Structure 1
Amino acid sequence: MVKLYTFHMFNKKVCLSLFSSRFEFLSKQTSFLTLSDADISSLSFPNNTFQGEIVYYHEWSRPYPRNVNVHEETKTLFGLFFTMNQFAMKMDPMKGALGDNHFRAFRTNNYKFHFYETKTGLRLLLTTEPGCADLHEHLRVKIHQTLYVDGVLKRGSGKARYAANAPFECDAFREGLLDWGKKLAHT
């Protein structure tokens, strides 16, 4: 069973929040998703606050409450992953000769960050329990390609409904993310 904590999606232009939601995912008694009307109505669209854009934010459950607001948290994560990516590229002895040399994940005793950056600069960050396996391919294929590109940008019709790397509100994306989280939680 995998415990998911938070999911951030942001671009590298201007970090403003494009979509923000908070849901309780795993209760102490069950591993099933529980949503209430209050959870669903907690969607918000915060303002520009720093260099980078929160395209989407989702919170399943956190072991401890956040001690800063989502903007400050994302600003910190944006800086952390920018710095870690730069560090990984500079320390690469092969200078990318063997392929992708970007930063993908790191783990502490309390959590693990999984990171995926697209060629367009969209960054996906998933926070999980520390023992979780590598979820880079989940971020790349399931969340970015299937849910975001096909589900948000193309919306099945092949026509763009939202601009790439821009704020969005899409029920299909949110439902797909929740379904993916439920399936992953039971593996």
Structure 2
Amino acid sequence: MHFLACVDSLKQRTILTTAYATGLRVSEATHLKVTDIDSQRMMLRISQGKGHRDRYVMLSPAIAGVLREYWKVVRLKTWLFPGDIPGQAITTGAVELACQKAHRAACIAKPITPHSLRHAFATHLLESGTDVRRIQLLLGHRSLATTSRYLKLATSTVCATTSPRDLLPEVAPLPSEPTPTPVF
């Protein structure tokens, strides 16, 4: 993704990549701890997300590799993304600023925020065939109506949907009815 390549800080690129790859809210990404990574089960634990609920999201092999390489460089102990104040997590404002800076560097006309990465996550999952209920769980939404607001599909994706009729086996045509003889 061109946008992520324009993030010039390893920490900022890693947190924005993680947010996109997992669909996290920026506040959830900023509060990740090293111990939240479960590379055995390939999951990230989201502690006290919105609504003060814990949940797990998938940890793809690609993002696990990104996090592993990041950890090798910074060797963190507590916060995965530490802030400028010792012992504190990075702020959401710092992530927003890094996102704005990368947006300008990428020369992309459409606005990009950390939250738009969450929208892109949901939309890309839906376009690849993931069911809406699974997306709802990954995003941590209580209501399916909330999830549906995230899912803006391209018209080409909607129109490319296969009709259920096209999935049925072909049936033999019915024999044609004989033409009735005219009665005078």
TM-score under structure 2 length normalisation: 0.32
Instruction: Flag the structure with higher helix content.
Output: 2
Instruction: Flag the structure with higher strand content.
Output: 1
Relative CO higher for 1 or 2, CA cutoff 8 Å, sep ≥ 6? Answer: 1
TM-score under structure 1 length normalisation: 0.32
